[in-house]
Structure 1
């Protein structure tokens, strides 16, 4: 049974991690979420649940504005082949999430460590990072270092790599 929002908050509290959460109407795309930007400071995330041909799974978390080249990302993240999006059934099984609510917080449900977490180095330059807290009707703000503490406490040692292929202005 996937963890609930309250169980996530309790876990973060046990780690002495301070967060703030804002409830809002469900959002399913980065575009819809961008309408909330005035209320929520910090970096906002885009999350890709990917798999390679050997059924290795990856959760790639980047800034919402990042450009991700799905034709070459496998070379960066150590996949066995080109990647495709993981099926909703595996997303639910491994991260306890449904499409539209994909979030780095989902690794709290990956007790078997089936998913490799990859964070974009550009995202990690922000002090505050925002992600859905297991559902897409809220946004939780967490400090960058606290996010790393959370991930390590779940048994996930993230790769921090340059994923964003966009050219800075």
Structure 2
């Protein structure tokens, strides 16, 4: 795997959803590095990518309440265990579960395995609330997929939680997850 600065020069074979991410980042003047790779839809697969990008790829979970009326995108360190009860208490939403791939596609234009903060650019009606573990905000950079799981990006944390979220009209709610019941 190689590390590149910015978008691919040849967009042949790239999905529209990926190209739209590069278009938006470029229009906002956000610098990023990129690596291309085989399908990386598990945290284990992301560990090798972490080494190339020299950044921790976030675990991104797409969640909903029992009634399927509230939807959440949770960004957390990949090595931290996720405990539903711990998060539920902090956001005041009981019975969180994983949202269906249909909702993921409808709101974020993302398929399972490629969930990323970049998908919020497709959430025009602000149906998805972004939750971020405080440890993600401590790093200088964040790693994420550009709405596909065959490329990964390294972007300054300040740019993601500043310029990018401002442009896509979302805010982040910081949570503290320790992985305990």
Do they superpose with TM above 0.5? yes
Match of 1:136 in 2: 149
Query: Which stretches of structure 1, 4 residues or longer, exceed 6 Å deviation after superposition?
Result: none
State how 1:1-169 maps to structure 2 within 5 Å.
Answer: 4-54=17-67, 55-79=69-93, 81-148=94-161, 149-165=163-179
Rounded Cα–Cα distance in structure 1 between residues aligned with 2:84 and 2:16: 30
Instruction: Answer whether contact 2:17 2:148 (CA < 8 A) is retained.
Output: no
SS of residue paired to 1:48: strand
Instruction: Answer whether contact 1:104 1:131 (CA < 8 A) is retained.
Output: yes
Equivalent pairs, count: 164
Structure 2, unmatched stretches of 5+, are: 1-14
Rounded Cα–Cα distance in structure 1 between residues aligned with 2:39 and 2:178: 26
Which string of whole-angstrom CA distances, capped at 9 and with x for unpartnered residues, describes residues 15-44 of structure 1?
111111111111110011112332111221
SS of residue paired to 2:174: strand
Instruction: Answer whether contact 1:3 1:109 (CA < 8 A) is retained.
Output: no
SS of residue paired to 2:58: strand
Measured on the aligned residues, the alpha-carbon RMSD in Å equals: 1.5
Rounded Cα–Cα distance in structure 2 between residues aligned with 1:90 and 1:56: 11
> What's the TM-score once normalised by structure 2's chain length?
0.85
